Amino acid sequence: MTKENTITRAGRVLRGTVVSTKMTDTITVIVDRYVMHPKYKKFQRRSKKFLVHDAGNTAKEGMVVDIKETRPLSKRKHFELITINK
């Protein structure tokens, strides 16, 4: 397969807050989303934590960051850091 024929697949891009930086080259990011309750029609906040690859440990706790889905880097890490929005 030549380089012209390769298919690049765009992954999800999410925005979240850094909650932990205690690992080497890895940060924990919590991503919030709002979902409407099917019966009561009230919005509820749902959150999920993702392990994100951060080469050089550039992000600090409390920063708002953008993350992008990538190939699996370890058992639980399949996102990488794109930008820091402070």
pLDDT (tens digit per residue) in 5-51 = 666 678 899 999 999 999 999 999 999 999 999 999 999 999 999 99
For the stretch 40-65, pLDDT in tens is: 999 999 999 999 999 999 999 999 99
pTM: 0.84
| All residues at 6 or more sequence positions from 79 whose CB lies less than 8 Å from its CB, including other chains | 14, 29, 50, 51, 52, 53, 67, 68, 69, 70
Q: Report whether pLDDT(85) > 80.
A: yes
Q: Report whether pLDDT(1) > 60.
A: no
Residue 3 phi/psi, 5-degree rounding, is: -65, -30
Q: Where are the domains of the chain?
A: 11-84
Q: Pick one of 2.40.50.140, 3.90.1580.10, 3.90.1170.50, 3.20.20.370 as the CATH number of 11-84.
A: 2.40.50.140
